[in-house]
């Protein structure tokens, strides 16, 4: 005979398992949305960097930014079509976002919109990594909560 305690533990574990199963698709869907927002938001705003009057972006910096954006866009596209998101692909997006940050930091005073978009993308990096079971090595304090970061990037993506 099962004790009450055993039945309580069993029912709690069953409910928790059902909850996790119900969230599985939502996590993948949210991950796809988040990486798409990062790719499109950063792509649009960083594309304007070269067109800001008086802002002289060195050719090598511009090439590095373009290369990192290409990685982000390609990997975001791969995640959008994958049945199961690959953790290494998500890590590559996180690495590319982190590589863009020091490249564009010198332009923040002249281009505050770029600072806002990059900060929002940086704040979503731990979220996308957590969605595939990875942790972020960053010890930086987030400026935006995930919902606000998504709104910021959505604004730049459109």
Averaged pLDDT for residues 41-60:
88
Domain for residue 46, yes or no?
Answer: yes
Give the mean pLDDT of the chain: 83
First to last CA, the chain: 61
Do 40 and 157 form a contact (C-beta atoms < 8 A)?
A: yes
Tokens of 92: 């590559």
Instruction: Kindly report, residue by residue over 79-99, the tens digit of the pLDDT.
Output: 888 877 889 999 999 999 999
Domain for residue 8, yes or no?
Answer: no
pLDDT at position 25 is 44
Instruction: Kindly report, residue by residue over 6-46, the tens digit of the pLDDT.
Output: 434 434 333 333 333 333 445 778 999 999 999 999 999 99
pLDDT at position 48 is 87
In which domain, by residue range, is 128 found?
26-157
Do 128 and 93 form a contact (C-beta atoms < 8 A)?
A: yes
Domain for residue 17, yes or no?
Answer: no
Number of structural domains in the chain? 1
Rounded percentage of the chain residues whose pLDDT exceeds 90: 57
Domain for residue 52, yes or no?
Answer: yes
Which of 83-87, 128-132, 136-140 comes out lowest in average pLDDT? 136-140
- Pick the closest to residue 136 from 91, 75, 102 (CA basis): 91
d(CA 19, CA 25): 11
Domain for residue 143, yes or no?
Answer: yes
pLDDT at position 23 is 39
The pTM assigned to this predicted structure is 0.79
Averaged pLDDT for residues 48-65:
89
């Amino acid at each position: 005979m099962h004790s009450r305690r055993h039945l309580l533990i069993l029912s709690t574990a069953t409910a928790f398992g059902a909850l996790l199963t119900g969230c599985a698709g939502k996590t993948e869907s949210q991950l796809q949305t988040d990486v798409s927002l990062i790719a499109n938001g950063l792509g649009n705003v960083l594309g304007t960097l070269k067109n800001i009057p008086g802002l002289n972006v060195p050719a090598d910096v511009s090439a590095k930014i373009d290369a990192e954006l290409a990685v982000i866009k390609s990997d975001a596209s791969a995640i959008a079509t994958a049945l199961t998101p690959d953790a290494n692909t998500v890590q590559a997006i996180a690495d590319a976002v982190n590589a863009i940050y020091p490249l564009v930091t010198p332009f923040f005073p002249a281009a505050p919109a770029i600072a806002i978009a990059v900060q929002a993308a940086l704040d979503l990096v731990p979220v996308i990594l957590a969605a595939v079971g990875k942790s972020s090595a960053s010890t930086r304090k987030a400026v935006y909560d995930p919902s606000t970061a998504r709104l910021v990037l959505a604004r730049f993506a459109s």
